[in-house]
């Protein structure tokens, strides 16, 4: 086991390094930020001067080596647009992303899990069909559409929550729902499968035969046992939630990393993109690694996750 772990950890580090390298070179194929930084009427000489000042006149390989060198010293570079260190920029945005991912998780988990359990227990009944239809409906709408509808209805017409921003606690409700709806079906499905698995086990049958009330079996024993796969999938889903908030954050003007990502990419703010992607890669690959290890602990045949 320790050897397996060390091997996977090493591979994960290589993968993260691969992401950074890939992004570094790919990004530069799409132009640089200089033209966006200078005023429209800047002369070619001014543009060239700016390009030299930012170091884009040097060979890309040199820039890459410098970047890797700095990275090893935990220097993530500076934003060309905002003129502040990337680490500082990410630090100010990260709490919002965590809050939103947390809110979405509460929605997805809080609604998805009970529905999933119901689906398993009431399997084949009309209620199960309706519920599974509802859960699937939640992820069948483009977020940029459902989000603006929510804003119009709850923000403008009913006035229950502010349409956008992050100024008060109620601001987080709508973005959390918009984002959480997407993961809800995944949670429902996992919970359903896990509960179905448990329902077939001997202890449930025995308990049932002994005349224990079903409700008691479910709440006392079954849910605890069914929670392991749910937790594992949650790990992967959290990575999705952290990465998947670009559109939700844009529509709700929520100042998290999703918005920063799209802004940095469109502004060709290379170092910020590198920083955000590095963080994302560590989260995604790290959580994946943990999930893999959990799987291998549960099931020695190492079932790879089917993902979502």
- Cβ proximity to another protein: between 12 and 212 the closer is 12
- The count of other CB atoms within 10 Å of the CB of residue 195 is 23
CB 192, CB 119: distance < 8 Å: yes
- Sequence length of the chain is 308
CB neighbour list of residue 129: distance below 8 Å, 6 or more residues apart: none
Distance of closest approach, residue 180 Cβ to another protein, in angstroms: 16
- Cβ proximity to another protein: between 207 and 240 the closer is 240
- Cβ proximity to another protein: between 102 and 212 the closer is 102
Helix (H, G, I), strand (E, B) or coil at 274: helix
- Cβ proximity to another protein: between 206 and 266 the closer is 266
CB 248, CB 178: distance < 8 Å: yes
Q: Which two tokens stand for residue 238?
A: 């959290």
- Cβ proximity to another protein: between 11 and 206 the closer is 11
- Cβ proximity to another protein: between 73 and 169 the closer is 169
Distance of closest approach, residue 210 Cβ to another protein, in angstroms: 25
Compute φ and ψ for 161, nearest 5 degrees: -145, 150
- Cβ proximity to another protein: between 212 and 253 the closer is 253
CB 268, CB 36: distance < 8 Å: yes
CB 239, CB 284: distance < 8 Å: yes
Distance of closest approach, residue 101 Cβ to another protein, in angstroms: 14
Distance of closest approach, residue 244 Cβ to another protein, in angstroms: 9
CB 47, CB 35: distance < 8 Å: yes
Helix (H, G, I), strand (E, B) or coil at 33: coil
Distance of closest approach, residue 207 Cβ to another protein, in angstroms: 20
> Could you tell me which of 190, 165, 198 has the C-alpha nearest to residue 112?
190
What's the first-to-final CA gap in the chain, in angstroms? 27
> Could you tell me which of 237, 215, 223, 211 has the C-alpha nearest to residue 305?
237
Distance of closest approach, residue 6 Cβ to another protein, in angstroms: 14
Distance of closest approach, residue 216 Cβ to another protein, in angstroms: 24
Distance of closest approach, residue 164 Cβ to another protein, in angstroms: 5
Give the integer Cα–Cα distance in Å for 292 and 301. 11
- Cβ proximity to another protein: between 160 and 216 the closer is 160
């Amino acid at each position: 086991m320790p050897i397996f772990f060390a091997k996977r950890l090493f591979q994960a580090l290589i993968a993260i390094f691969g992401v950074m390298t890939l992004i570094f070179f790919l990004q530069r194929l799409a132009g640089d930020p200089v033209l966006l930084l200078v005023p429209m009427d800047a002369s070619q000489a001014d543009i060239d001067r700016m390009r030299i000042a930012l170091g884009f006149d040097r060979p890309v390989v040199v820039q890459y080596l410098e970047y890797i060198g700095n990275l090893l010293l935990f220097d993530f570079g500076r934003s060309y647009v905002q003129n502040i260190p990337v680490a500082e920029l990410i630090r100010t945005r990260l709490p919002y992303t965590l809050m939103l991912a947390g809110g979405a998780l509460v929605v997805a988990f809080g609604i998805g899990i009970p529905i999933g359990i119901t689906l398993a227990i009431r399997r084949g009944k009309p209620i199960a069909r309706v519920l599974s239809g509802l859960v699937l409906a939640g992820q069948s709408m483009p977020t940029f559409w459902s989000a603006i509808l929510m804003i119009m209805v709850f923000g403008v017409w009913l006035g229950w929550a502010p349409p956008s921003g992050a100024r008060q606690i109620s601001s987080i409700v709508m973005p959390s729902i918009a984002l959480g709806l997407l993961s809800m079906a995944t949670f429902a499905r996992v919970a359903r499968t896990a509960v179905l698995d448990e329902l077939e086990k001997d202890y449930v049958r025995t308990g049932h035969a002994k005349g224990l009330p079903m409700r008691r079996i479910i709440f006392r024993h079954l849910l605890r046992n069914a929670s392991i796969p749910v937790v594992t999938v949650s790990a992967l889903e959290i990575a999705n939630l952290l990465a998947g908030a670009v559109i939700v954050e844009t529509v709700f003007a929520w100042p998290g990393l999703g918005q920063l990502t799209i802004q940095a990419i469109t502004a060709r703010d290379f170092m910020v993109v590198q920083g955000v992607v590095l963080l994302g890669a560590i989260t995604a690959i790290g959580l994946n690694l943990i999930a893999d290890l959990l799987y291998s602990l549960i099931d020695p045949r190492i079932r790879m996750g089917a993902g979502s």
